[in-house]
């Protein structure tokens, strides 16, 4: 997981990932004040260290929870580390080669759909 801010911490706190067999084994951030911090039992590492830790930690899927303007850089770190599956929680659309699969979690898409359906139901 890259981006140990509010959303990243909320995801780390969400037991459903582990219950469904998705263990978050490494957390990364570029904020020097966060590096070394322990969050939900995991140490925050510098994003630049990701490549050297992927094999040791058995990381197979990357999760991006950075601010949108940092999503592309986070994706590049994941790709440089050899990952080809990314779950992107930011609103940014990232550019990746065809071999890399990205899934987007867009909360606003669902809010817009609900708002539209709500207004239609009133008429």
The pLDDT value given to residue 68:
96
Task: For 61-81, write each residue's pLDDT tens digit.
Answer: 999 999 999 999 999 999 999
The pLDDT value given to residue 77:
97
Look over the chain and give the mean of its residue pLDDT values, rounded to a whole number: 94
Please state, in angstroms and rounded to a whole number, the distance separating the CA atoms of residues 123 and 109. 22
Q: How confident is the model at residue 123 (pLDDT cuts 50, 70, 90)?
A: low
The pLDDT value given to residue 80:
97
Domain that holds residue 63: 6-121
On whether residue 72 sits in a domain, the answer given is: yes
DSSP state of 47: G
Alpha helix stretches (DSSP H) within 1-121 = 6-12, 16-19, 50-57, 71-80, 107-121
The pLDDT value given to residue 110:
83
CATH (domain of 71)? 3.40.50.720
Give residues with Cβ within 8 angstroms of 27, minimum separation 6: 1, 2, 4, 8, 12, 39, 42, 43, 44, 45
Residue among 72, 66, 65 at smallest CA distance from 93: 72
In terms of Cβ atoms closer than 10 Å to its own Cβ (0-12, 13-18, 19+), residue 90 is buried
On whether residue 1 sits in a domain, the answer given is: no
Residue among 100, 28, 109 at smallest CA distance from 64: 28
The pLDDT value given to residue 99:
97
On whether residue 117 sits in a domain, the answer given is: yes
Task: For 5-27, write each residue's pLDDT tens digit.
Answer: 999 999 999 989 889 999 999 99
Query: In total, how many domains does the chain have?
Result: 1
Whether residue 59 contacts residue 26, with contact meaning beta carbons closer than 8 Å, is answered with: yes
On whether residue 92 sits in a domain, the answer given is: yes
């Amino acid at each position: 997981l890259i981006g140990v801010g509010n959303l990243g911490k909320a995801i780390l706190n969400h037991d459903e990932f582990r219950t469904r067999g998705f263990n978050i084994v490494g957390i990364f951030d570029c904020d020097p004040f966060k590096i070394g911090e322990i969050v939900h039992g995991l140490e925050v590492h510098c994003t630049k260290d990701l490549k050297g830790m992927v094999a040791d930690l058995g990381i197979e899927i990357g999760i991006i929870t950075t601010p949108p303007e940092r999503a592309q850089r986070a994706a590049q770190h994941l790709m440089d580390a050899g990952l080809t599956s990314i779950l992107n929680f930011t609103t940014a659309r990232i550019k990746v080669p065809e071999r890399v699969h990205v899934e987007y979690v867009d909360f606003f898409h669902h809010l817009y759909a609900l708002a539209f359906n709500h207004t239609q139901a009133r008429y």
